[in-house]
Amino acid sequence: MNILDKIIAHKKEEVAERKSLVPTKLLERSVFFDNKVVSMKKYVTHPEKTGIIAEFKRKSPSKGTINSAAKVEKTSIGYMQSGASALSILTDKEFFGGSNEDLITARKFNFCPILRKDFMVDEYQIVEAKSIGADCILLIAAALEPKRLEELAAFAHQLGLEVLMEVHDQEELDRSLNDQLDLVGVNNRSLKTFDVSLDTSYSLVDKIPDQFVKISESGISDPQTLVDLKKGGFDGFLIGENFMKSIRPHQAAYNFMNKYRELSPDFKTTAV
């Protein structure tokens, strides 16, 4: 059993337990449930923004603890003030050290699109995402049969949420693309081996239809890489570990985004 299989098996047990403790009707009474969704598609592709989806995560299966001291409020506000287009908040506790409360906190302090980064296997989690203030959910092609992925995406749209599908190779992309998606992300880190290669993004970018917003994810540590990926056809970039490994993630994000602006012709006249 690889790490992804292990995570999905645990997630199914976790969701079954949560369903028994907090019924869907209760989730629908949340103060966030009727909030208007902030569009991830629009913010990522906005010409005056960086296209960066800045991620908050405390640990990962491949790296162990990344940053256990960072605070969601300070980090998320700092990310957005630095010029991020959106936030990604890990809500998986067992493997990534996150929680629903992390996303709720980010929602309280930021008006921007927020991606709930988790391993979605059930409609219940999508209702839950809406109830904690998320605007977009992640569906991982490697973890879901194509029909099931499309069903979950359609359900998310019924609630007004946007959908980011994540793929790791051509096979996943070909079998899982459907009209219920809004954004397609290419994860440069294999969830099976955790090896990272930006070649994954470059090999798939032209295979993603232009109707979808294209995101390159993971392994991005140099602002010049963003310039190159942008030229290659990507609209946005998901960056987490590169910021979170710093003692002050928000400062790392600020320095990174300023350097990106200097390198990118799109931001020559943009002041911070």
Q: Is 49 designated active site?
A: no
**CB atoms inside a 10 Å sphere around CB 268:** 9
What Å distances lie between residue 238 and 2, 17, 116, 171, 184, CA to CA? 24, 31, 13, 22, 12
From the list 49, 57, 214, 230, the catalytic residue is 57
From the list 14, 55, 150, 162, the catalytic residue is 55
From the list 76, 131, 216, 218, the catalytic residue is 218
From the list 150, 166, 172, 241, the catalytic residue is 166
Q: Is 166 designated active site?
A: yes
From the list 217, 230, 241, 264, the catalytic residue is 217
Q: Is 176 designated active site?
A: no
Q: Is 14 designated active site?
A: no
From the list 11, 41, 117, 130, the catalytic residue is 117
Q: Is 218 designated active site?
A: yes
Q: Is 55 designated active site?
A: yes
Task: Give the ranges where 93-248 is alpha helix by DSSP (H).
Answer: 100-109, 123-131, 146-158, 170-176, 199-204, 223-232, 241-244
**Alpha-carbon span 232 to 240, nearest angstrom:** 21
What Å distances lie between residue 147 and 40, 116, 154, 169, CA to CA? 24, 21, 11, 18
Q: Is 71 designated active site?
A: no
Residues known to be catalytic: 55, 57, 117, 166, 187, 217-218
